[in-house]
Every structure is written in C-alpha cells, then in structure tokens.
Structure 1
C-alpha cells in the first residue's frame, strides 16, 4: 500500500518504520537516564528507525532529561515522545526539543461529547504550534469509550486530529487483532497510515506489517519479553532481521531496492 505525500511520509521515509520503546525503568532519575542511554544505543546498533520516550515507569522529568540528553545527537534516529496522561507537556517538549513525532493514546472516542468539543479545539491549536507528526489512538488499550459514537464515526473524526493511527488490542504485549486492523482500514482507506502498537514479535512481523505501515515495539525487545525487562540486543536483532526480509520482499515486488 502507499501512504501518499503527507507529513507522515515525509518524516518516515523508511518503509514499515520500527520504533522502539524507551520505558524509562530504574530506581532513580540518574539510573533511568543511564538505562535509556544504554537501551537507545542497542536500538540504534540493530537498525531500529526511531525511539519513543515514554514515562511508562519513569516520570515526566525523566522524559525531559532524555530529550535534553538526545538534543543534537543521532540525527539519523527519529525521536518520539509519549507523555502518559499529559499531552500538553508532550507538545511543550516538542516546542523545546527535536521531537519528530508525538504519540497520544487517544484522539477520539475517550471523552463525552461536551468535553470532546473543547479537546478538539485545543488539539488543533497545539498541532499548529509544532512540526511533529502526531500518532493517535482510537479504541486504544486501557482507554475508555465515552463518545456515544460508533468506532467508525470516531475513526473518521480522529483522521482530522492526527497523522496516523496506532492500533492495539486490549493490553500491553498482547498481539494486535488483525480483524481490528481490517476494520480500521475499511474506514480510513489505503493512504492513511496505520501502525501496530502492541504485540509485534519476530514470528508475527510479516503478517502484522503486511497489513499496516509500521510498528511501535516494546515488550518483545526486552530480555524477558515482558515490559518490566531490559532491552536485549539479540531480541532487537532477531526482529529487525525479519523486518529487513519483509522490506526486501516488498522492494522486489515493487521493482526497487530496499535496505
């Protein structure tokens, strides 16, 4: 599939980009920064296209510390941020640091109609202040559904609020339901980007990425294959080997070379 000329395609020139999670684990701010540095170097060395800095275990200050450390480094690496429960801070950080993309777990469906109208206006203003690509969720894991609209209605609204959808099933590490991907695709069409947001592994990467435009990966890359672990080079290498094979197949089918 082609995603056309968009903010997404101009930022993510690599087909099927793979974005690794930095969950910011550790017992102190200095340890969390050290672990993030180590894990980022592992991801880079194994060819991951970008990272998502997220306060999954750490706090909001840790997100800022990592972005501050990253500023001016690794221009080949795409840098994203997901500040859980504080999208305002995510946009603030994008104004202060190089942030290629922002992830928000929900851009439509999670609010009651009266709150959603105010949220839409706020989000429109925030997006106008940054160049960052915005990844949004609709029916994302752990997010409430309060809109009173159908899934399809929320998707149509969400397309105006973000540049790509990230899709998950119901939990961290759970394989993303391809039937859900198909439902989303039937609404958004072939040119709006869809990314896998949970449960990608070396064994399902072909099936999952053939139906989508990229993925955010966390648990599989850990030494335990669970979110609480540490990123292991062997697991990243295994996943990226399969991703490269898929890209090569896609490039051959399209009559072009893909690294």
Structure 2
C-alpha cells in the first residue's frame, strides 16, 4: 500500500462521503453541508469530500472554513471541478487531507499531456495532501491514444490512489472494469470505487478495491439531488464494518 495513503487512511476500506453542496443560497448550502457532515460522521463514515457539484467556489471555501473547527480525526477531502489549480491553492490554506482530481491520465492528447504531467508534479510537491486520481473516469474524454493499462500505469505515477467509475454519477461501477484496473495497478497500490456503491454491492466491490467515495446512495432519494440520510449511511457502513471484521479475523489467522 502507498505510504502516503496508509499514513492518512489508517482504517481499512475507508468510506468517504461526498458533500455536493446542494441548496438555494450560500447560507443554505453551508447549513446543509454542516448537517450532512454530522450525519455522515455519526454513522461511521471515515471522512468527507467537499465538491462544487451544485455550489460554487465560494461555497467550497465556506465549508472548508467550517471543517477547520472539527475534530482533526475527521478526514477532509476536496474536489474542485474544472479547476484543480484552486484545489491545490486551498490545500495550502486549509486542512485538506486529500485532493481528488477526476482525471490524471488519458484525458489529454500527447502534446498537451507532457505539460500537464510536469505541472501536476509541481502542484503535488507544493502540498502534503494525498492525491486521488481518476483514469477513464465518468464524463472524462479519452484522448491519449494509449491503451487502458498504459494510462493506468502512467496514472499511478501521478497520484497516490486511483479512482475508478463507470460512465455516470450514481451508476454502479462495472466490476469487470474494477478487476481490470486491479490487475494493472497491483494489490499494493490503492484503488477506490468512485461511484455507484450501495449496501447491496459493497461487499463484492470492496473485495476488489481498497475503499470508496459515496454520494448518491447516502441521499434520502438515492440521487445526487437529495440530502444525506442517516439510515442509508448506517446500512452501508454495517456491510463495510462486517467486511472489515472478516479481514481482521483473516489477518489474525495468518499471524497465528
């Protein structure tokens, strides 16, 4: 397992709840994010990701300011859609344990990719945050001219964990794709499910992957437009805790 990843994520199979920043005003978006964070943490989620999915960059900053007041055991992540430069700037100003970028390899043609790689390396070096990188991620183009394994191998060099999805928000991540990614990344490099995790599929998905980012399933409507529902969080986390217990028991048997 990546050293930087394991230093931050000490709990096996970490589950990270997405804050989509829904609401009709800045005040309402902050209040909903506060309540959703409290619900997620109270029901066992390991951390939250602040994302400008519905809100804007000012909302992201407001939520990060509030998260600064919480117990540092609550892991804080950040994904600034369409502006990863701002994500790294905010990581210098606030406690941001990890940054998510929807694509670190495969989305650019070769002549642009070299400049992107150099810039990303410089940005990574400017912060202590772990970087989650998407490869063949939902809504991202494929312009590299490389094969999937080639993009994954390059992606591993550019981040601390790979995030895998299918084609859309809330869509179950294709298990064959997860297994292909695992075959290329190897068992010692973190691989995270980035969409579509549910209580029904969490066991089979997390037997292949090292953790997950969850948004839609935690909502009262099971859609990204909803509000986090504690019962949904508790249901999925019960499955995850069972899997963690099995893994711990298996490890003890091996040590014995």
Fold agreement, TM-score > 0.5 = yes
Alpha-carbon offset, residue 202 of structure 1: 0.5
Give 3-state SS (helix, strand or coil) of 1:254's partner. Answer: helix
Q: Of 103, 106, 119, which aligns to 1:106?
A: 103
Instruction: Provide structure 1 residue ranges, at least 5 long, that are not aligned to the other structure.
Output: none
TM-score, scaled relative to structure 1: 0.96
TM-score, scaled relative to structure 2: 0.97
Alpha-carbon offset, residue 92 of structure 1: 0.3
CA distance, structure 1, for counterparts of residue 84 and residue 127 of structure 2: 13
Alpha-carbon offset, residue 187 of structure 1: 1.1
Q: Of 67, 88, 109, which aligns to 2:64?
A: 67
Q: Of 229, 236, 239, which aligns to 2:236?
A: 239
Following superposition of structure 1 onto structure 2, how do residues 70-81 of structure 1 map, counting pairs within 5 Å?
A: 70-81=67-78
Alpha-carbon offset, residue 71 of structure 1: 1.1
Deviation track 1:203-246 (CA, whole Å, cap 9, x = no partner) reads 11110001000000000000010111000011001111111111
The CA RMSD measured in Å over matched residues stands at: 0.9
Q: Of 175, 180, 185, which aligns to 2:172?
A: 175
The aligned counterpart of 1:227 is 224
The aligned counterpart of 1:140 is 137
CA distance, structure 2, for counterparts of residue 70 and residue 194 of structure 1: 26
Deviation track 1:32-62 (CA, whole Å, cap 9, x = no partner) reads 0000000000001001000000001001111
Give 3-state SS (helix, strand or coil) of 1:106's partner. Answer: strand
Instruction: Provide structure 2 residue ranges, at least 5 long, that are not aligned to the other structure.
Output: none
Q: Of 131, 156, 180, which aligns to 1:159?
A: 156
Give 3-state SS (helix, strand or coil) of 1:160's partner. Answer: helix
Check if 1:197 corresponds to 2:194: yes
Give 3-state SS (helix, strand or coil) of 1:255's partner. Answer: helix
Count the aligned residue pairs. 253
CA distance, structure 1, for counterparts of residue 128 and residue 36 of structure 2: 26
The aligned counterpart of 2:215 is 218
CA distance, structure 2, for counterparts of residue 125 and residue 83 of structure 1: 18
Alpha-carbon offset, residue 72 of structure 1: 3.6
The aligned counterpart of 2:7 is 10
CA distance, structure 2, for counterparts of residue 180 and residue 19 of structure 1: 21
Q: Of 79, 84, 92, which aligns to 1:82?
A: 79
The aligned counterpart of 1:35 is 32
The aligned counterpart of 2:118 is 121
Give 3-state SS (helix, strand or coil) of 2:162's partner. Answer: strand
Large movers: runs of 4+ above 2 Å:
none
CA distance, structure 2, for counterparts of residue 157 and residue 252 of structure 1: 35
Give 3-state SS (helix, strand or coil) of 1:80's partner. Answer: strand
Alpha-carbon offset, residue 188 of structure 1: 1.2
